[in-house]
Every structure is written in C-alpha cells, then in structure tokens.
Amino acid sequence: MANRRLVSLLSVQAGSKPGWPARLHVVTGKGGTGKTTVAAALALALASDGRRTLLTEVEGRQGIAQVFDTAPLPYQELRIASAPGGGEVRALAVDAEEALLEYLDLFYKLGRAGRALRRFGAIDFATTIAPGLRDVLLTGKVKEATTRTADGRRLYHAVVLDAPPTGRIARFLNVTAETARLAKMGPIKTQSEGVAAILRSPMTAVHVVTLLEEMPVQETADAVAELTALGIPIGKIIVNGTRPPVLAAGRISQAELRRGLAAAGLPTDRDTVAGLHGEAKAYLVRRRIEETLRGELAELGRPVVELPLLPEGVDRAGLATLAAALLAAG
C-alpha cells in the first residue's frame, strides 16, 4: 500500500533547515494576523542556500500575488522570488476545479473529455455538492507537490501552505480523514487516506500565527487543542507584529514628563503633556495585556517565535527581514 512509500519519504528528512524539520509547513492563524505574509517569509527562509520551496494557497484569494505585488497567479508552479544563496521560491494558487481535472487526467487519461466534463457541469457538481471533496482535492494537490520527486530527488525542499484561518483549519485538515471514513473503498478512499497519513506524520507541521491580542491568542489555543486531538502535529506559534517593550519603569508622572520635554526643547503646554501622558498610559495597559497573553502562549508548550512589527508595511525588504527572523529563531 501507500505506507511503504510513506515510510521511504519520512526517512528523507535530510536537507531541512535547523528548527524547521517538517517538509510540509501549514501556516494558519486568525484573519488579520498576517498569516499569508508569514507563509511567504517562511517560504523565503527555507529556500535560502540554494534550496527550492513551493508557496501555495488554496482559498482563491490571490493573497500570495498581493504579498509579492505581482499579477494574479495561474494554476502553475512559477518562480515568484529568489532567495539568498541562489535559492528560489515558486508559488501556486491551487484551484479545486483544476486540481480535479488534473487528477482525473492523471488517473484516467481524459484529455479533451475533461473539458467536456466542465461544460457538462460535472466539475461544478463535484466541487459544490461536497465542499469536503473540494478540500480533499486541495490538500491532495499540496500533498502531491510535497512528495513529488524529479530524477529520484525531491523537487521541493519544503512546501509552505497558506492555509485557511484558525476557525476552519481543523475541519480543513481533517476533511481527508472524514472522507476516507465516508468512502469505504475506491480511489477517493486511497487518495484521502494518503493525504490524512501525511498530515499526521512528522513530515507535517502546522504553525499558528497570532498577534498579542486576546481573540487571536484564544483562537490559537483553540486550534492547537483541536489539531492535537486530531493527531495533527503542531509546529511553532508565530507571534507577528511585536514591538520591543519600552517604558520598563512603568508609570511616569506628568511633572516628570514635563521636565523631560523641557530638557528636550519640546513644547510643554497642557495638550502636549496630557496627550503624551494619555498615550503612555494606553501603551502600558496594552503592554500588560500583551505580557499576560505571552504567558498564555508559552503555556501551550510549543516553541514561540516572535516577529517584529514592520511600521512601513511589508514590502520585499520587509519579507526578507521576517525570513531572517524566522531562520534565526529555528
């Protein structure tokens, strides 16, 4: 069965980056935490030193194209960036319909008949009646890319999946197991089981991106619990948008602030002093919350990586900064 093949693939852990041993890196996070940016930075990081990685997305959002500021991605693995040391990142927007046609073509040599299926509404049918089938096709394609070889060697050192958000991740990754249960035999069962096995093997790591805000941290904890219950391995907790803590001394009085401003040659009128004082107080409130949340994340028992806030927004240089931080944290 597929197990022998799986075992041989599992033994190929060589060539992975220290601290990032998995081959399939699934990046999830609550909406708005920057998971697409982190996925892109991770694909860059893992491609350094002449490696090749594949960055994929499955939700039809064209998020990768937006991060790299390029035209919308086709259903093709195209080079999207080069990494230091001659490495390259390829990108792929997986489309369920295309994946189904490709799958049918591969196993049943459909050729042009596949197009006829589309006209017939069959593809629409297959991806609509069973949104689950859709997820099987999407994860199936990702698995295929992860395990693909060329000339007896893995084509990609690592595959990074910009996955659905935390609220849907367990359902998305478990759908293959669910389908395997549903289809008691036949190719769908084989396919689903193959995907489910990879997702539960050390080859896979699910990284959860969060901010130091209450809801993202809560959803991170929920997702870690759900995935753990499903036997899907958790990689790292990645905290995005962190700032170096300042005002270590805590409170500052308005009088003290006024003296400081005077010494700096800045205005010391009421608006300035009271305004700055108010901002400092709000900052301290937020920092205290952030410290509590850091503690909650640490309790999840997974390695935590912090990425800096990029005040200018994320451009190519910003991605490189994040990639370096991810590698350093490995």
Window 264 to 323, contacts with another protein (CB under 8 A): 264-267, 271-280, 282-283, 285-286, 289, 311-313
State the minimum distance, in angstroms, from the CB of residue 203 to another protein.
Answer: 24
DSSP helix/strand/coil, 263: helix
| Helices assigned H by DSSP within 72-203 | 96-108, 113-119, 122-129, 131-147, 166-182, 187-199
Decide if residue 329 touches another protein (CB under 8 A). no
CB 173 within 8 A of CB 205: no
Decide if residue 6 touches another protein (CB under 8 A). no
Alpha-carbon distances, residue 240 vs 19, 25, 34, 58, 304 (angstroms): 18, 17, 7, 22, 11
Q: Which residues 132-151 are close enough to bind another protein by CB under 8 A?
A: 132, 134-135
Residue 213 makes CB contacts below 8 A (sequence gap 6+) with 293
Q: Pick from 10, 261, 320, 325 the residue near another protein by CB under 8 A.
A: 261
Which two three-digit tokens encode residue 302?
């997974």
Decide if residue 129 touches another protein (CB under 8 A). yes
Q: Would you say 107 or 149 has its CB closer to another protein?
A: 107
Q: Which residues 87-126 are close enough to bind another protein by CB under 8 A?
A: 104, 107-108, 110, 113, 116-117, 120-122, 124-125
Q: Would you say 79 or 107 has its CB closer to another protein?
A: 107
Q: Which residues 141-200 are close enough to bind another protein by CB under 8 A?
A: 164-165, 167-168, 171-172, 174-175, 178-179, 181-189
Among 29, 3, 12, 9, smallest CA distance to 235 is for: 29
State the minimum distance, in angstroms, from the CB of residue 76 to another protein.
Answer: 21
State the minimum distance, in angstroms, from the CB of residue 21 to another protein.
Answer: 29
Among 210, 159, 178, smallest CA distance to 54 is for: 159
Strand 149-150 to strand 153-154: parallel, antiparallel, or no bridges (unpaired)? Answer: antiparallel
State the minimum distance, in angstroms, from the CB of residue 102 to another protein.
Answer: 13
Alpha-carbon distances, residue 61 vs 74, 94, 188, 308 (angstroms): 12, 10, 27, 25
Q: How many residues does the structure list for the chain?
A: 330
State the minimum distance, in angstroms, from the CB of residue 217 to another protein.
Answer: 10
Q: Please measure the distance between the N-terminal and C-terminal CA atoms of the chain and give it in whole angstroms.
A: 35
Q: Which residues 216-245 are close enough to bind another protein by CB under 8 A?
A: 216, 218-219, 222, 243
Q: Would you say 47 or 94 has its CB closer to another protein?
A: 94
Q: For another protein, how many residues bind (rule: CB under 8 A)?
A: 89
Stretch that binds another protein, among 20-28, 30-38, 294-302, 321-329 (CB under 8 A): 30-38
Q: Would you say 160 or 293 has its CB closer to another protein?
A: 293
